[in-house]
C-alpha cells in the first residue's frame, strides 16, 4: 500500500467500517492523524529470553518453537481454550489462550515464534496465558521498544501499533515546521526522525531526542500563540483607570484589622487599577485561610466607588453563594450593590440580574463560570476577580474582551492557594505580576492533624461529641466513590458521585451514632437551593455536624467549625487534603483534622504523615508534585490553554523556558510571521489556537 498523509484509515487493510468509526472517536481518520497519535508510554520488549531464563516478573519476550499442533477445546458455551506446548533447548512452556480460537490455525507445529506475556510457574510447569505472539522471522512487535497508546473500546494497542507502523512511511520527507535556525541553535532532531522514533524508537537515546524535539515544538507554538494574545492585549490598550480612594474607609468596613500582608496586597491592587497605561494583571497567591477574600472585596469596593463594575468568579456554586452573602454584608453599608449570577438560577432570576448588570444597577457581581460563558453584557466592566480558578488565563481574558466588544480590557485579579511555579504562571497568565500573602491572620492556633486507623473510629466519634458539646461544629468528608477524573474539574462537583455512599452514611450516623446531634448533608447532586439551605444551616450553627463530599473543598468559610474528619483520606491528593483541612482553623478555636485510612500502602501512609507534620501549603504542594506529578493540577486543562499532546507544562519546565525564548527571538524578527519561511509556524499556531481565532486579527 502506498500511504500518504491523506490516506483515509478505511484504506488500511483490516480497518472496516466498524473499526473506522471507533478510530474516529479518537479523532483518527487519516494516516497523518496516526503520526501525531503519540504513545502515552512504552514497553521494553527488546530482550528475548529462553524459556528457563525468563524472569517471573512482568511481561517478557520468549523465543520458542511450537512442539505440537494447538489443541482447541470448548469448555462450555462462551469459553474456548487453545493450548499448545512450545519448547527451546532449555525447556518447555505451556501456553493457554482463552477465547481466541484463531490461534489453533495461527500457530503451526515446528515453527519458531516470539511470545510476549507473563511467565508463571504452576507446579513444575512454566506457563503463559494469552500471550501476544508473532513468527520469529517476521518480528515487528517484539524485540523492540513497543509504544503504548491511549485506546478506546474495540481498538487494541496491537491494532493501533500495527496501523501506526503502516502509516510511518508517510513521515518520509516530512516537511520541517520548525525554522531551521531555531532547530539548529537548540540541537533539535529533524521532524521525520522525531515522528518515527516517538512511535518506534530504536533505543532510549533516540526516544529522548525525538521527545525533546516534539515537546519543544508544541511548547514553541504555544509560546508563539500566547505571545500573539499578549500582544493583542497590549494593543487593546488600557483598562479603565479606577481612581484611588482613602484606604481607611474600606478598612473600617472590615470586622478585623487586616494583616500587613493583606494591606500590602490591597495597596498593590489599588495602584494597578489606578494606572491608566495598562490594565492590571495580578496573581495573588496566599495559603488557605490567609484572607484573600478581603483583597477581592477591596478591589470590588474601589471599582464601585469609581463608578465602574466588578465581577467575581468562583469555581463552585456553593462558594459563589458564600461570597455573595459575605460581600453583600460587608459592603452594604458603603452603598455598594452586590449581585449573584449562577448557572442554576431560574431563567427569570438570571434575566433580572442580567438586566440589572446591563443597566449598571449592580456594582459587584458574584458568579460561577456562567458569568463569562453566557455572554453577559455589562454597563461598565472594569474588573474581573477569578477566585481559585486557575483556568482563567490569557486565553479566557481574550475571549472575554472579544465578547464584551469594549475598547477597554478589564483589570484581572487571579486568586489562588496553589503555588504556581513562576515560569508557568507567566505562560498561563501572560505578562503578570505576583503578590504573595505570606502571613496568616493573628490568633490562629495551628491545626493538629492525626492519621488514624479504623479501630479508633469510636474514639473519634466521641471527639466529635466533645467538640460539639463545647459549642463547636464539625465536618465529616466522604470521598466520592467512582470519581471519573475527566468528568469534573477539581473544585467542581463530580457528576459521577456515588450519592448513596454519602447519603446512607449520613443517615446511619444520625441513627446509630449521633441521634442527639443535628446533622446536615451536602453533596454535589443536591439542587442548588438545597445546597444553599444546607450551607446556610451549617454557617448559622443550626446544624452541628455537616456530612459532605468535597464540594466544600475550596473556599468555604465557617469559623466556628473546629474539627474536620476525612474518611478514606488516602484517596485524596495532598494538596486536596490541605485545602479540605483549611476548612477549619479559621477562627480563634484550636482546630483538629482527623485523617481516617484503612490503607496498607506504606507510601500512602507516608503521604498522610507528611500532611500531619506540616501546615505549609508550599511545602505540601511541592511534595504533591514530587509524588503524584503535576496531573492533579494541570492535567485537567484547568489553565484553559490548548491541549498539549506530549508536553507536560509543569514537568517540562526547562524546555518551556527555552521555547519561550525561541518564540521571543522569532517574533522579534518577524512579529506577524509574514516571511514565507515562517508560514508553517503561523499555520500550526493558528490550528493550535483554533478555539481563539480572534487572536490573529
Vertex 375 angle, CA 371 and 379, to 5°: 85
Residue 91 in the binding site for ligand ADP (CB under 6 A): no
Decide: helix, strand or coil at residue 100: coil
If the CB atoms of residues 492 and 570 are measured against Mg ion, the closer one turns out to be 492
Smallest distance from ligand ADP to CB 670, Å: 44
If the CB atoms of residues 9 and 535 are measured against ligand ADP, the closer one turns out to be 535
Beta-carbon count within 10 A of 204 CB: 11
What does 262 interact with, of ligand ADP, Mg ion, none (CB < 5 to 8 A by kind)? ligand ADP
Among 32-40, 272-280, 288-296, 591-599, the segment contacting ligand ADP (CB under 6 A): 288-296
For 260-263, the CB contacts below 8 A with 24+ separation are 260/439, 261/286, 261/290, 261/436, 261/437, 261/438, 261/439, 262/290, 262/291, 262/294, 262/295, 262/437, 262/439
**Whether 643 contacts 221, CB under 8 Å:** no
Residue 291 in the binding site for ligand ADP (CB under 6 A): yes
What does 279 interact with, of ligand ADP, Mg ion, none (CB < 5 to 8 A by kind)? none
Residue with cell 458564600: 322
Smallest distance from ligand ADP to CB 291, Å: 3
Beta-carbon count within 10 A of 565 CB: 24
If the CB atoms of residues 155 and 564 are measured against ligand ADP, the closer one turns out to be 564
If the CB atoms of residues 212 and 292 are measured against ligand ADP, the closer one turns out to be 292
- Dig out the grid coordinates for 138 from the structure: 517476521
Number of residues that bind ligand ADP (CB under 6 A): 17
Instruction: Find the radius of gyration of the CA atoms of the chain.
Output: 30
Query: At 341, phi and psi to the nearest 5?
Result: -140, 110
Residue of the chain from 307, 441, 528, 635 that contacts ligand ADP (CB under 6 A)? 441
Helix ranges (H only) for 135-176 are 157-167
If the CB atoms of residues 155 and 437 are measured against Mg ion, the closer one turns out to be 437
If the CB atoms of residues 265 and 596 are measured against ligand ADP, the closer one turns out to be 265
Smallest distance from ligand ADP to CB 617, Å: 10
- Dig out the grid coordinates for 86 from the structure: 512450545
Residues 606 and 687: their CA atoms lie apart, in Å, by 44
Helices (H) and strands (E) in the chain, counts: 24, 24
Residue of the chain from 282, 292, 472, 578 that contacts ligand ADP (CB under 6 A)? 292
If the CB atoms of residues 30 and 259 are measured against ligand ADP, the closer one turns out to be 259
If the CB atoms of residues 39 and 286 are measured against Mg ion, the closer one turns out to be 286
How is 2-20 classified by DSSP, letter by letter? ---TT-BGGGSTT--HHHH
Beta strands, E only, 454-517: 473-477
Residue 286 in the binding site for ligand ADP (CB under 6 A): yes
What does 258 interact with, of Mg ion, ligand ADP, none (CB < 5 to 8 A by kind)? ligand ADP
If the CB atoms of residues 259 and 498 are measured against ligand ADP, the closer one turns out to be 259
Residue of the chain from 289, 419, 491, 617 that contacts ligand ADP (CB under 6 A)? 289
Residue of the chain from 51, 170, 288, 413 that contacts ligand ADP (CB under 6 A)? 288
Smallest distance from ligand ADP to CB 387, Å: 7
Query: For ligand ADP, which residue has the nearest CB?
Result: 291
Vertex 538 angle, CA 537 and 540, to 5°: 70
Contact partners, residue 57, CB within 8 Å, separation at least 6:
none
Smallest distance from ligand ADP to CB 253, Å: 12
Binding mask 119-148 for ligand ADP (x = CB under 6 A): ------------------------------
Residue 435 in the binding site for ligand ADP (CB under 6 A): no
Burial 334-354 (b: 16+ CB within 10 A, else e): eebbbbbbbeebeeeebeebb
CA 92, distance to chain mean position in Å, is 48
Smallest distance from ligand ADP to CB 263, Å: 9
What does 549 interact with, of Mg ion, ligand ADP, none (CB < 5 to 8 A by kind)? none
Residue of the chain from 50, 241, 360, 559 that contacts ligand ADP (CB under 6 A)? 559
Among 78-86, 255-263, 526-534, 545-553, the segment contacting ligand ADP (CB under 6 A): 255-263
If the CB atoms of residues 416 and 692 are measured against Mg ion, the closer one turns out to be 416
Smallest distance from ligand ADP to CB 394, Å: 24
Residue with cell 469555581: 315
Residue of the chain from 30, 166, 227, 262 that contacts ligand ADP (CB under 6 A)? 262
Residues 367 and 313: their CA atoms lie apart, in Å, by 5
Residue with cell 509543569: 650
What does 286 interact with, of ligand ADP, Mg ion, none (CB < 5 to 8 A by kind)? ligand ADP
**Whether 411 contacts 261, CB under 8 Å:** no
Decide: helix, strand or coil at residue 695: helix
Beta-carbon count within 10 A of 167 CB: 26
Smallest distance from ligand ADP to CB 255, Å: 7
Residue 323 in the binding site for ligand ADP (CB under 6 A): no
- Dig out the grid coordinates for 376 from the structure: 453577559
Strand duo 381-387 + 411-416: pairing: parallel
Smallest distance from ligand ADP to CB 623, Å: 20
- Dig out the grid coordinates for 199 from the structure: 512511535
Which H or E element spans position 563?
Answer: strand 561-566
Residue 541 in the binding site for ligand ADP (CB under 6 A): no
Smallest distance from ligand ADP to CB 264, Å: 12
If the CB atoms of residues 159 and 297 are measured against Mg ion, the closer one turns out to be 297
Q: Find the length of the chain.
A: 697
Smallest distance from Mg ion to CB 292, Å: 5
How is 637-688 classified by DSSP, letter by letter? -TT-PPPPSS--TTTTHHHHHHHHHHHHHHHHH-TT--SGGGHHHHHHHHHH
Residue of the chain from 70, 258, 300, 310 that contacts ligand ADP (CB under 6 A)? 258
What does 259 interact with, of ligand ADP, Mg ion, none (CB < 5 to 8 A by kind)? ligand ADP
What does 307 interact with, of Mg ion, ligand ADP, none (CB < 5 to 8 A by kind)? none
Residue 557 in the binding site for ligand ADP (CB under 6 A): yes
Among 16-24, 263-271, 284-292, 563-571, the segment contacting ligand ADP (CB under 6 A): 284-292
Residue 586 in the binding site for ligand ADP (CB under 6 A): yes
How would you write 615-629 as a 3-class SS string?
CCHHHHHHHHHHHHC
How would you write 529-582 as a 3-class SS string?
HHHHHHHHHHHCCCCCEEEECHHHCCCCCCCCEEEEEECCHHHCCHHHHHHHHC
Beta-carbon count within 10 A of 457 CB: 14
What does 557 interact with, of ligand ADP, Mg ion, none (CB < 5 to 8 A by kind)? ligand ADP
Residue 579 in the binding site for ligand ADP (CB under 6 A): no
Query: At 197, phi and psi to the nearest 5?
Result: -85, -15
Give the interface with Mg ion as residue ranges (CB under 5 A): 292, 555
Smallest distance from ligand ADP to CB 314, Å: 11
Binding site residues, ligand ADP, CB under 6 A = 256, 258-259, 262, 286, 288-294, 441, 555, 557, 559, 586
Amino acid at each position: 500500500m502506498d500511504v500518504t498523509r491523506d490516506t483515509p484509515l478505511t484504506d488500511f487493510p483490516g480497518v472496516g467500517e466498524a473499526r473506522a468509526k471507533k478510530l474516529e472517536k479518537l479523532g483518527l481518520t487519516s494516516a497523518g492523524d496516526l503520526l501525531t497519535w503519540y504513545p502515552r508510554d512504552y514497553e521494553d520488549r527488546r530482550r528475548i529470553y529462553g524459556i528457563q531464563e525468563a524472569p517471573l516478573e512482568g511481561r517478557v519476550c520468549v523465543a520458542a518453537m511450537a512442539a505440537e499442533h494447538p489443541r482447541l477445546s470448548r469448555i462450555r458455551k462462551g469459553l474456548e481454550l487453545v493450548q499448545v506446548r512450545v519448547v527451546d533447548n532449555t525447556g518447555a512452556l505451556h501456553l493457554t489462550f482463552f477465547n481466541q480460537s484463531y490461534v489453533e490455525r495461527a500457530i503451526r507445529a515446528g515453527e519458531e515464534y516470539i511470545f510476549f506475556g507473563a511467565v508463571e510457574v504452576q507446579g513444575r510447569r512454566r506457563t503463559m496465558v494469552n500471550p501476544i505472539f508473532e513468527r520469529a522471522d517476521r518480528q515487528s512487535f517484539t524485540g523492540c521498544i513497543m509504544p503504548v497508546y491511549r485506546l478506546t473500546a474495540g481498538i487494541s494497542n496491537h491494532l493501533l501499533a500495527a496501523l501506526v507502523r503502516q502509516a510511518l512511511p508517510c513521515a518520509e520527507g516530512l516537511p520541517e515546521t520548525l525554522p531551521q535556525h531555531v532547530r539548529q541553535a537548540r540541537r533539535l532532531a529533524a521532524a521525520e526522525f522525531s515522528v518515527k522514533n516517538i512511535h518506534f524508537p530504536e533505543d532510549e537515546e533516540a526516544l529522548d531526542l525525538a521527545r525533546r524535539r516534539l515537546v519543544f515544538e508544541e511548547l514553541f507554538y504555544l509560546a508563539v500563540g500566547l505571545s500573539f494574545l499578549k500582544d493583542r492585549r497590549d494593543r487593546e490598550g488600557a483598562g479603565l483607570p479606577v481612581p484611588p480612594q482613602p484606604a481607611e474607609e474600606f478598612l473600617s468596613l472590615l470586622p478585623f484589622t487586616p494583616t500587613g500582608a493583606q494591606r500590602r496586597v490591597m495597596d498593590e491592587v489599588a495602584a494597578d487599577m489606578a494606572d491608566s497605561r495598562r490594565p492590571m494583571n495580578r496573581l495573588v497567591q496566599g495559603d488557605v485561610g490567609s484572607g484573600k477574600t478581603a483583597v477581592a472585596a477591596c478591589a470590588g469596593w474601589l471599582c464601585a466607588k469609581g463608578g465602574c463594575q466588578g465581577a467575581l468568579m468562583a469555581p463552585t456554586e456553593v462558594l459563589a453563594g458564600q461570597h455573595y452573602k459575605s460581600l453583600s454584608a460587608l459592603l452594604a453599608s458603603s452603598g455598594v450593590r452586590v449581585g449573584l449570577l449562577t448557572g442554576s438560577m431560574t431563567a427569570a432570576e438570571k434575566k433580572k440580574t442580567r438586566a440589572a448588570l446591563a443597566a449598571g444597577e449592580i456594582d459587584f457581581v458574584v458568579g460561577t463560570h456562567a458569568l463569562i460563558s453566557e455572554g453577559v453584557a455589562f454597563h461598565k466592566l472594569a474588573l474581573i476577580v477569578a477566585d481559585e480558578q486557575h483556568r482563567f488565563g490569557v486565553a479566557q481574558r481574550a475571549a472575554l474582551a472579544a465578547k464584551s466588544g469594549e475598547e477597554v480590557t478589564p483589570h484581572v485579579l487571579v486568586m489562588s492557594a496553589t503555588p504556581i511555579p513562576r515560569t508557568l504562571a507567566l505562560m498561563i497568565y501572560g505578562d503578570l505580576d505576583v503578590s504573595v500573602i505570606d502571613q496568616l491572620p493573628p490568633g490562629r492556633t495551628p491545626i493538629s492533624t492525626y492519621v488514624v486507623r479504623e479501630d479508633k473510629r469510636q474514639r473519634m466519634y466521641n471527639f466529635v461529641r466533645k467538640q460539639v458539646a463545647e459549642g463547636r461544629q464539625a465536618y465529616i468528608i466522604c470521598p466520592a466513590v467512582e470519581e471519573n477524573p475527566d468528568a469534573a474539574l477539581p473544585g467542581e462537583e463530580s457528576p459521577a458521585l456515588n450519592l448513596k455512599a454519602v447519603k446512607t452514611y449520613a443517615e446511619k450516623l444520625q441513627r446509630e451514632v449521633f441521634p442527639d446531634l443535628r446533622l446536615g448533608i451536602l453533596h454535589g447532586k443536591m439542587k442548588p437551593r438545597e445546597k444553599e439551605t444546607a450551607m446556610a444551616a451549617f454557617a448559622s450553627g443550626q446544624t452541628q455536624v455537616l456530612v459532605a463530599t468535597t464540594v466544600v473543598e475550596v473556599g468555604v468559610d465557617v469559623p466556628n467549625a473546629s474539627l474536620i474528619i476525612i474518611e478514606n483520606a488516602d484517596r485524596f491528593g495532598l494538596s486536596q487534603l490541605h485545602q479540605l483541612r483549611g476548612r477549619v482553623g479559621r477562627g480563634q478555636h484550636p482546630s483538629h483534622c482527623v485523617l481516617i485510612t484503612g490503607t496498607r500502602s506504606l507510601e500512602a501512609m507516608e503521604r498522610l504523615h507528611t500532611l500531619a507534620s506540616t501546615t505549609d501549603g508550599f511545602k505540601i504542594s511541592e511534595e504533591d508534585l514530587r509524588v503524584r506529578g503535576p496531573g492533579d493540577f494541570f492535567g485537567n486543562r484547568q489553565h484553559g490553554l490548548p491541549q498539549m499532546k506530549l508536553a507536560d507544562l509543569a514537568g517540562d519546565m526547562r524546555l518551556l523556558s527555552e521555547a519561550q525564548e525561541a518564540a521571543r527571538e522569532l517574533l522579534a524578527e518577524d512579529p506577524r510571521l509574514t516571511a514565507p519561511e515562517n508560514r508553517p509556524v503561523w499555520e500550526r499556531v493558528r490550528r493550535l489556537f483554533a478555539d481563539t481565532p480572534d487572536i490573529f486579527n
